[in-house]
């Protein structure tokens, strides 16, 4: 890693900013790309003084010509509110962005990481979801721009791997949370925390019995770095997430308790194609990366609540 020049697309986003921070600690030179659609300059403001860090405003749907040794492709809005705002652009970001970054990796002979998603499994009929499950995805629904965009990006990565012998790493990331989440991203953790801290009604869509598995950001970043350090014979895909499953109602009740909030829970209709169950099978990550999450949900939520409490008052 030392002296490597590393490109992180979506680097000013929630995950990207934590990744940039980690890579700098390992003595890499980091070029952070972001178009600031959902990323925020404040997420990486504390890194700008580091001479090994460079920040560039750029949209991955357009080619970029730089010299790098490694690429982490994280650029894409990842919450329904953001990716449904401009669904055509979301698909372009996943597909054109993948083509542009793969072309760059091919030219530079760089190792390239793709931040794929558990959404490639759609509303799963297999539980928990292993990597060899092909998914149950609606190709024409309101979430398809993201689900199918990421599925197509995976196709491109593996075709470049087979056709051009490119060194690729494809990770399917499950729900991740922690400091620097966007307060208006519409995800359950950030939604519930912000609503609880403001004393607003906690909005649950559906009956609240749908399940999610939440991975704290530091655990995920550790997994990503370990995956990138594996040999070229380990392209993935590998599920990265926390297999500890809870219902959405249980999550809301935990956040109410940890924030000591007087907010009440209200229920609203479930959006189209919202998955009923989401839990990663991380057998492969345990075996190949020697990794599993260490941060429990309550400990991670306390850190996240502290972040939002501070950012809402500043």
Q: Write the secondary structure of 225-278 as one string of H (helix), E (strand) and C (coil).
A: HHHHCCCCCCCCCEEECCCCEEEHHHHHHHHHHHHCCCCCEEEECCCCCCCCCC
Task: Residue 277: count other Cβ atoms within 10 Å of its Cβ.
Answer: 18
Residues 6+ apart with CB under 8 A from 166: 102, 105, 106, 112, 157, 160
The radius of gyration of the chain's CA atoms, rounded to the nearest angstrom, is 19
Distance, in Å, from the CA atom of 225 to the CA atom of 276, rounded to the nearest integer, reads 30
Q: Which residues pair with 211 in a beta bridge?
A: 247
Catalytic (active site) residue 83: no
Q: Give the relative orientation of helices 87-108 and 144-164 as an angle to the nearest 10 degrees.
A: 20
Q: Which helix (H) or strand (E) holds 282?
A: none
Q: List the catalytic residue out of 146, 160, 177, 216.
A: 146
Catalytic residue numbers read 146
């Amino acid at each position: 890693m030392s002296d490597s020049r590393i490109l992180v697309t979506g680097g000013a986003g929630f995950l990207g900013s934590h990744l940039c921070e980690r890579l700098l600690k390992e003595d890499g030179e980091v070029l952070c790309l972001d178009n600031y659609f959902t990323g925020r300059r404040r997420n990486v403001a504390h890194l700008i003084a580091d001479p090994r860090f460079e920040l560039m405003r750029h949209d991955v749907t357009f080619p970029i010509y730089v010299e790098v040794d490694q690429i982490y492709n994280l650029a894409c809005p990842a919450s329904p509110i953001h990716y449904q705002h401009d669904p055509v652009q979301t698909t372009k970001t996943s597909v054109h962005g993948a083509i542009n970054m793969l072309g760059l990796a091919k030219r530079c002979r760089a190792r390239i990481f793709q931040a794929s998603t558990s959404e490639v499994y759609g509303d799963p009929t297999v539980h928990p979801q292993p990597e060899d499950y092909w998914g149950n995805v609606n190709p024409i629904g309101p979430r398809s721009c993201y689900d199918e965009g990421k599925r197509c990006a995976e196709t491109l990565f593996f075709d470049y791997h087979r056709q051009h012998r490119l060194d690729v790493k494809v990770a399917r990331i499950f729900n991740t949370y922690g400091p620097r989440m966007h307060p208006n991203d519409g995800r359950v953790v950030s939604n519930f925390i912000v609503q609880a801290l403001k004393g607003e009604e906690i909005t649950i869509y559906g009956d609240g019995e749908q399940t999610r598995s939440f991975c704290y950001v530091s655990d995920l970043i550790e997994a990503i770095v370990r995956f990138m350090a594996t040999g070229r014979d380990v392209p993935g895909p590998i599920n990265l997430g926390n297999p500890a499953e809870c219902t959405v109602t249980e999550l809301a009740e935990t956040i109410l308790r940890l924030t000591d909030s007087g907010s009440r829970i209200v229920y609203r209709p479930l959006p189209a194609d919202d998955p009923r169950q989401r839990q990663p099978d991380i057998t492969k990550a345990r075996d190949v990366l020697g990794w599993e999450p260490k941060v429990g949900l309550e400990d991670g939520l306390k850190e996240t609540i502290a972040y939002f409490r501070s950012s809402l008052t500043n």
